[in-house]
A and B are shown apart, each in its own frame.
Chain A
Amino acid sequence: MKKKTVANTIFSYLLIILIGMILIFPIVWMFCAAFKTNEEIFGSTGILPRAWTGEGFRVWLAENEGGGFWQYFGSLFHNFSESWLGTGRNSYAVFFWNSFKLVIPTVLLTLVSSTLVAYGFARFNFAGKKILFGILIGTLMLPNAVVIIPRYAMYAGWGWVDTYLPFHVPAALAAAPFFVYMLIQFMRGLPRDLDESAYIDGCSTFRTLVQILLPLMVPALFSAGLFQFMWTYNDYFNSLVFINSATKYTVSLGLRLSLDGESVVNWGKMMAASCIAVLPLIILFFAAQKYFVEGIATTGMKG
């Protein structure tokens, strides 16, 4: 009996490690490929790059185009000046800056608007609540593809195309029902007595929200913010539709531009760019793992 459980445990670990290696292999390979030349990337069965250790690595960094990219990215922090902001359309520093200009306000506006709307749904009893909630759930299933064409026509008429307004304004109007729903579910889990006693004490509804509920909602807001960050940052379709000029390109569009723009693609550089592109996600994930897991777990659960 005991032998069997030991064998079982070993087998389980082997299986877990094997699956994990298969799943993580593409990411590891992407990282390694960022240090390779085209010849090394293609036709080779090896994962680790040739020039990996010590001085060779440094030299390679300095000489290779991919290395140039890394240095360039480094300058983002040291040398935040116009000289490199204006170095042309293939500059990832610009793409990054654009991505953050697009994503950060979208995330913040989503959080503010979704909190207000969720508060309205979770803590008030009003005529038409059932219908409005039904509509909210319905829009959860409304595919983006159905609304994008009239939205585009509308935004084009208002001169919003090729700006980030098609991302910021919907965020301010809580047009992503997923987050409203997520926060409603979370607020329903908070004890009602708290805000009711605050109300009886003469606290306005808005102050109740800000002073009583908001501090308790921090984990949920964190989760919602992370997901909105992840989705907006990764988004390709909407960026492709609404943003035209290369100076306003986000990282996603920039990657696409590098892929299409060169006749002979330097794949090592492409992979370096991809690595850098996914880096903010990986950093966020490891910094805030708990919120990712909680966020996913609570949304699926109570529906």
Chain B
Amino acid sequence: MSSVSIPRRMKRRKYTRRDSQAYLYLAPWVIGFFLLQFYPFVMSLVYSFCNYQLGTTPVFNGLDNYVRLFTRDADFIRSLRATGIFTVAVVPGKLILSLAVAMFLNREMKGINLARTVYYIPSLFGGSVAVSVLWKILFQDNGIINAWINALGFQTVQFWGDPRYALGTICSLEIWQFGSSMVMFLAALKQVPRSLYEAASIDGAGAWSKFWHVTIPQISPIIFFNMIMQTIQALQNFTSSSVITNGGPLKSTYVLGLKLYKEAFTNFKMGYASAISWVMFLIIMVVTLLLFRFSSAWVSYDD
């Protein structure tokens, strides 16, 4: 993102009368920013230091919400854990799978476009309720996956009933939708100059070495962009846990998004929920900063 640059040509010119019209075009967004982003952003921080039931006046209570979250709310710790596991499994899982498949599909073959199309289809459904319902049925104790497991002579796996498997099964739903990152990677791979691979071949580089020393550095900005966006998304995951397991069994899938929703819109503890949202936000900030920090080591923006 830091590579966004304003064309040189423009910098030389002074602002003209025509240019002042820009504010007119930006007006909706500026209003939207203050009303729908900046103000709510600040207010959620303010609420997080308040005891605020919906419909009442917020009362300042200092760090109470945060202290309670970390010392007296075992469910919150479980949520952190569930979201942590989910993010750590889904983000790398999706990235590696989509990159591997993109590498594999990045070739000239008859019918390859059909494959790309089919692989993209699961991504269409995103966080829709329909696919969550579908996953719930597929992986039920007497669902088709278990019917196959039984047919192979194994015992029924309680995908939704066993706290060891439930979160992993939800992760599989997310990883199934790797198509849109795959398409992004495919587009990026097409941009890598052939000459680089040829030069590497002349230097005696094998396929593996080409992958690490040519492909990865060349597409690193896309990997990075994907990594950040997917992490932000994964930390807020909600639909699958809400629809399929409602956080169970034994709160093993009680992700932060679900915890936030329940505190805010079932218990109407807006202050407490705001504190959760700020913990979430701080985690996102820290993870993003860390990613940016480490990105300088491997992301190259040389073009």
Contacts and interface: CB of A to CB of B under 8 A. Distances in A.
B129 interface: yes
A264 interface: no
Interface string A264-303: 0001001101110110011001000100110011011101
A27 interface: yes
Contacts of A141: 228, 232, 284, 288
A300 B225 contact: yes
Contacts of B84: none
B274 to A, nearest CB: 5
Contacts of A235: 127
A285 B124 contact: yes
Interface stretch (B63-71, B111-119, B163-171, B193-201): B111-119
Given A170-B36, A301-B187, A148 B25 contact: no
B120 to A, nearest CB: 7
B280 to A, nearest CB: 6
Contacts of B3: 303
A142 to B, nearest CB: 6
B261 to A, nearest CB: 7
Contacts of A251: 129
B88 interface: no
Interface string B16-31: 1011111111101111
B224 to A, nearest CB: 9
**From DSSP, what is the main secondary structure of chain B's interface residues?**
helix
Contacts of A16: 104-105, 112, 115
B129 A180 contact: no
Interface residues of B, number: 104
A170 B31 CA distance: 10
B183 interface: yes
A6 interface: no
B187 A15 contact: no
Contacts of A52: none
B268 to A, nearest CB: 10
A44 B138 contact: no
A255 interface: yes
B58 to A, nearest CB: 9
Interface stretch (A63-71, A83-91, A114-122): A114-122
B199 to A, nearest CB: 23
A30 interface: yes
B142 A42 contact: yes
A200 to B, nearest CB: 11
A45 B41 contact: no
Contact of B118 (A24, A113, A130, A174): A24
B225 A142 contact: no
Contacts of A233: 128
Contacts of B32: 113, 170, 173-175
B14 to A, nearest CB: 9
B103 interface: no
B235 A143 contact: yes
Given A26-B176, A289-B117, A237 B151 contact: no
B36 to A, nearest CB: 5
A228 interface: no
B133 interface: yes
B220 interface: no
B128 A234 contact: yes
Nearest to B48: A149
A15 B100 CA distance: 13
B59 interface: no
Contacts of B116: 293
Interface in B209-237: 221-222, 225-226, 228, 232, 235-236
Contact of A259 (B101, B127, B243): B243
Contact of B37 (A175, A253, A292): A175
B180 A23 contact: no
A135 interface: yes
Contacts of A19: 101, 119
B299 to A, nearest CB: 12
A237 B126 contact: no
A152 interface: yes
Contacts of B36: 147, 151, 170, 173, 175
A230 interface: yes
Contact of B129 (A117, A256, A299): A256
Contacts of B120: 285, 292-293
B170 to A, nearest CB: 14
B28 A173 contact: yes
Nearest to B183: A296
Given A120-B25, A143-B235, 8 more contacts: A26-B131, A127-B15, A143-B236, A147-B36, A147-B41, A151-B40, A267-B137, A299-B184
- What 5 pairs between A and B have smallest CB-CB spacing? A173-B32, A120-B25, A124-B22, A297-B187, A150-B43
Interface of A: 9, 12-13, 15-16, 19-20, 23-24, 26-27, 29-30, 33, 41-45, 47, 113, 116-117, 119-121, 123-127, 129-130, 132-133, 135-137, 139, 141-154, 156, 170, 172-175, 180, 188, 192, 199, 205, 230-231, 233-237, 240-241, 251-253, 255-256, 259, 267, 270-271, 273-275, 277-278, 281-282, 285, 289, 292-293, 296-297, 299-301, 303
15 contacts: A12-B109, A19-B119, A23-B176, A24-B121, A27-B122, A44-B147, A116-B25, A120-B24, A152-B265, A152-B270, A233-B128, A237-B261, A278-B128, A281-B125, A282-B121
